[in-house]
Amino acid sequence: MAKHQINFPAIEMVTKVEGGQTYVWDPLRSVYLLLTPEEEVRRYVIAFLISHCGVLPHSIAQEYSVKINGTAQRADIVVIDNTLRPTILVECKAPEIDIDKAVFAQAVRYNAVLGARYIVLTNGHKHLCVEYKEGKYTTMRSFPTMVYPTPDAEL
């Protein structure tokens, strides 16, 4: 399926071809989406967040609306915590797009509105994970993980 090397564990994607174009099933939104290179990366990231980072599927929002200077933008993936606050902001790029300062700047602009603790940038083979804390972004060695409090946990 992948035309580029993807640096995530293998996943199975349900696809169909219509009108000469390939579509991939998005189980979170229950819809087929055009399988672009960026969408392929998004499918891998979502699967990884669920299988390796402890993210619950219902806490994942895709194409999350972010207003910047009155203009509607969309963050690729935002993970929401139990208090309904954005915790992880993920920007997915096509494999041929470099994860560079411009991509980081885009995510920082989104995060100025969202206030997520973590930002993940990926093009499927290169990943950059950072933590935003006390007004600074610090590079992380791995993807962030989610820990959800249980209903009977003491607060």
pLDDT (tens digit per residue) in 102-153: 999 999 999 999 999 999 999 999 999 999 999 899 999 999 988 776 665 5
Q: What pLDDT shows up at residue 3? A: 55
Q: How confident is the model at residue 1 (pLDDT cuts 50, 70, 90)?
A: very low
Write out the H or E segment, with its range, that includes residue 118: strand 118-122
pLDDT (tens digit per residue) in 22-60: 999 999 999 999 999 999 999 999 999 999 999 999 999
- Tokens of residue 119, six digits: 């930002």
- How many independent structural domains does the chain possess? 1
Asked if residue 88 is part of any domain, the answer here is: yes
Return the DSSP state at 29: T
φ, ψ of residue 18 to 5 degrees: the values are -135, 130
Q: What pLDDT shows up at residue 147? A: 75
- Tokens of residue 18, six digits: 């219509």
Tell me the C-alpha distance between 88 and 3, whole Å.
27
Is residue 45 within 8 Å of residue 120, measured between CB atoms? yes
Residue 106: C-alpha distances to residues 29, 60, 130 (Å): 25, 20, 14
CATH of the domain at 29: 3.90.1570.30
Asked if residue 150 is part of any domain, the answer here is: no
Buried b / exposed e along 127-147 (16+ C-beta atoms within 10 A): bbbbebeeeeeeeeeebbebe
Residue 133: C-alpha distances to residues 23, 51, 77, 150 (Å): 39, 26, 20, 25
Asked if residue 149 is part of any domain, the answer here is: no
Write out the H or E segment, with its range, that includes residue 103: helix 101-114
pLDDT (tens digit per residue) in 2-12: 456 799 999 99
* Domain limits for position 109: 15-139
Asked if residue 4 is part of any domain, the answer here is: no
**Average pLDDT of span 61-78:** 93
